[in-house]
Amino acid sequence: MPKILVTIPIYNEVRYVDDVLNAVRRYSDNILIVDDGSDDGTAAVLKRHTGINVIAHKKNQGYGHSLIRAFDFARRGRFDWVITLDCDHQHEPSYIPHFKRELKKDDADIISGSRYLRPIPPDSPPPPPDRVAINRRITRILNENLGTALTDAFCGFKAYKLESLLKLELSEKGYAMPLQLWIEATRKRLKIREIPVPLIYHDPKRNFCGALEDPATRFRYYITIIERELGYNVCRNLAGVFSS
């Protein structure tokens, strides 16, 4: 059996952390929480949970930075695979066994969940339109420039083969780290495979903080990171692309 670490990056998830942790415990004994400077009582809740590993940031460092810290923890712990999921009930812990079955096939370096491989059930709460629009456009840009066939560029429910992950040079601290990941993984010729996971939005109004709350600003940020990593422009008229 490969040695697997389940990692959950957290920032102000006091409403969900108990339920998510209790659910994840059913499927893994090796759990790492990266608390990215929560100030809503999340840290106090985590102290009630024994038998888990916790990395706590004094200040918020960013989603990407939390994952980079987790990957380093996995390296030092000599884990074979890292499974990542979020703590806002958008990822169903009961799908962890699906990832475990898939990684045992040993035919991919990154197994990424996709919320768009299957039709969205008609009775599901609709996802925020701006998130869907941005995800589709960014996914298309990545596919056009990398020759990939991704369907969901931003899903955080993933399994990473650590030996392959350590070949990547990841430095992006913010929400655009997955975009740097795809570009780096393609450069290093890693094998990427997607598997379907549910599209879940319990709170459609839940979004980003600060300037990234504005969809156009968020889209420009993603494009900036893609262009920085590729070294050339991928989109000349950002406003026109986003509006379309």
Residue 29 lies in a domain: yes
One-character DSSP codes across 124-158: SPPPPHHHHHHHHHHHHHHHHHH----S-S----E
Cα-based distances in Å from 170 to 7, 49, 183, 221, 229: 17, 30, 10, 17, 11
Predicted confidence (pLDDT) per residue in 160-200, tens digit: 999 999 999 999 999 999 999 999 999 999 999 999 998 87
Beta bridge partners of 114: 196
Residue 100 forms part of a structural domain = yes
**Each residue's pLDDT tens digit, 189-201:** 999 999 999 887 7
For residue 218, being part of any structural domain is answered with no
What is the pLDDT of the chain when averaged over all its residues? Answer: 91
**42 in a structural domain:** yes
Q: Is 105 within the bounds of a domain?
A: yes
What are the beta bridge partners of residue 8? 33
CATH code where residue 192 lies = 3.90.550.10
- One DSSP character per residue, 218-241 reads HHHHHHHHHHHHHTS-S-S-HHHH
Residue 173 lies in a domain: yes
Lowest-pLDDT range, 33-42, 71-80, 86-95?
86-95
Residues contacting 170, CB < 8 A, separation 6+: 64, 67, 68, 71, 177, 180, 181, 184
Instruction: Tell me, yes or no, whether 228 lies in a domain.
Output: no
Total domain count for the chain? 1
- Look up residue 241 and give its two tokens: 């692309």
To which residue do tokens 């494009």 refer? 223
pTM, rounded to two decimals: 0.93
Structural domain harbouring 63: 4-130+148-205
Q: Dump pLDDT digits (tens) for 201-241.
A: 766 566 667 788 899 999 999 999 999 999 999 875 554 44
